[in-house]
Amino acid sequence: MSLSDLIVKVTDLIEPVIESLGIELDELEFKRMKGKALLRVFIDRKGGVTIDDCERVSREIEAVLDVEDPIPYSYVLEVSSPGLDRPLRKPEDFRKYSGSRARVITIDPIEKQNFFVGQIVEAGDSDIRILLQKDRTITIPYENISKARLEVEV
């Protein structure tokens, strides 16, 4: 079984369990290392995630994975929040955090720049608009985004 097939299988098993707890599966990472593997599950919900949420989700998905046994080798399970500077990967992420500050790195330069920090003012189906300093707005197509994260405001 390929790594991507394994991720799909594990996601299909644990996502309903997480959702039944009123929590959202944000991302699932699976990394193989020498003799071990790490299954990292990022969860989120409106108002944020607590340590108790992480513990509860960990116990519930651990029970499902023990019964179904989809991972054919030993692994460590880690459940956590994506954090305040969470990555933005999909159009839904940008829509969800519309109005928030983000930093975006592009693949190809836009107006001779690859790094932008500003407020997400619109997240459409094909691009986002970010309000930069001095009331300047820039449009970035999703396919040109290399990396994007929420910017922690202090």
Same domain, 60 and 103: no
Q: Tokens for 143? A: 């396919």
Q: Which pLDDT belongs to residue 72? A: 87
Give how far Cα 135 sits from Cα of 106, 112, 131, Å.
Answer: 20, 18, 6
- Domain extent for 59: 3-80
Q: Which pLDDT belongs to residue 153? A: 73
Structural domains of the chain, count: 2
Strand order in the sheet with 24-33: 24-33, 36-44, 76-80
Q: Tokens for 114? A: 């690859």
The model's pLDDT over 24-65, given as tens digits with 9 standing for 90+, comes to 999 999 988 887 889 999 999 888 899 999 999 999 999 999
User: By C-alpha distance, which of 38, 40, 28 is closest to 74?
Assistant: 38
What's phi and psi for 127, nearest 5 deg? -160, 170
Same domain, 123 and 76: no
The model's pLDDT over 64-105, given as tens digits with 9 standing for 90+, comes to 999 999 998 889 999 999 888 889 989 999 998 999 999 999
